Structure 1
Amino acid sequence: MYKLIVCDMDETLLADNKTITPKTVEAIKRAVKKGVRFSPNTGRGFLSVQDDLEKLGLKDVSGQYVISNNGAVIVENKNNRIVKMETMKFETVNELFRLGIEHPEYCVHIYTPDELYIWNLNDEEFAYINGRLNDYEQPKDESIEFLKEKQITKIIFSVPSEGERLALQKYVQENFEEMNITFSSDRYIEFNSKKADKGQAALHLGELLGIKPEEIIAIGDNGNDVPMIKAAGLGVSVANGREFVKEIADYVTEADNNHNPVAEVIEKFID
Structure 2
Amino acid sequence: MIKIITSDIDETLVDNNKKVPQRNIDNIKKAKEMGLIVMLATGRGPYELHDIPKEAGVIDKDRFIICCNGAVIVRADDRKIVDSQTLDFKYVKKIFDFCNEKKLEFFIYTMDKKYGINLDFKEKIKSYTNDSSVVEIKDSNIDFLKDELILKALIKNTDMAYLNSLEIDIAEITDYSLEIAYSSDMFMEINAKGVDKGIALKKVCDYYGIDISEALAIGDNYNDVAMLETAGIGVAVRNAHLQVKERADYVTEATNEEGAVGEAIEKFVLNK
Shorter-chain TM-score: what band?
A: over 0.9
Contact 1:69 1:113 survives alignment (8 Å): no
RMSD: 1.7
Which ranges of structure 1 fall in alignment gaps of 5 or more residues?
Answer: none
Alignment map for 1:212-251 (pairs within 5 Å): 212-251=211-250
**Length-normalised TM-score, structure 2:** 0.93
**2:86 matched to which residue of 1?**
87
Which ranges of structure 2 fall in alignment gaps of 5 or more residues?
Answer: none
Deviation at 1:158, TM superposition (A): 0.2
| Structure 2 counterpart of 1:169, from 164, 167, 170 | 167
**2:267 matched to which residue of 1?**
268
Structure-2 separation of matches of 1:172 and 1:139: 20
**1:76 matched to which residue of 2?**
75
Structure-2 separation of matches of 1:99 and 1:27: 45
Deviation at 1:63, TM superposition (A): 1.6
- Counting matched residue pairs gives 269
Contact 2:123 2:134 survives alignment (8 Å): no
Structure-1 separation of matches of 2:134 and 2:171: 29
SS state of the match for residue 196, structure 1? coil
Aligned pair in 2 of structure 1 residues 127, 41: CA closer, same or farther (>3 Å)?
Answer: farther
SS state of the match for residue 224, structure 1? helix
Aligned pair in 2 of structure 1 residues 256, 129: CA closer, same or farther (>3 Å)?
Answer: farther
SS state of the match for residue 257, structure 2? coil
Contact 1:107 1:125 survives alignment (8 Å): no
Which amino acid is the alignment partner of residue 15 of structure 1? D
**Length-normalised TM-score, structure 1:** 0.94
Deviation at 1:124, TM superposition (A): 4.9
Q: In percent, how many aligned pairs have the same letter?
A: 36
Deviation at 1:130, TM superposition (A): 3.6
Contact 2:95 2:173 survives alignment (8 Å): no
Contact 1:180 1:192 survives alignment (8 Å): yes
Deviation at 1:114, TM superposition (A): 2.5
Alignment map for 1:76-155 (pairs within 5 Å): 76-104=75-103, 106-124=104-122, 130=128, 132-155=130-153
Once the two structures are superposed, residues 103-147 of structure 1 have per-residue CA deviations (whole angstroms, 9 ceiling, x without a partner) of 32x321111122211222212556895462324322323321111
SS state of the match for residue 27, structure 2? helix
Aligned pair in 2 of structure 1 residues 169, 10: CA closer, same or farther (>3 Å)?
Answer: same
Runs of 4+ in 1 over 6 A off after TM superposition: none
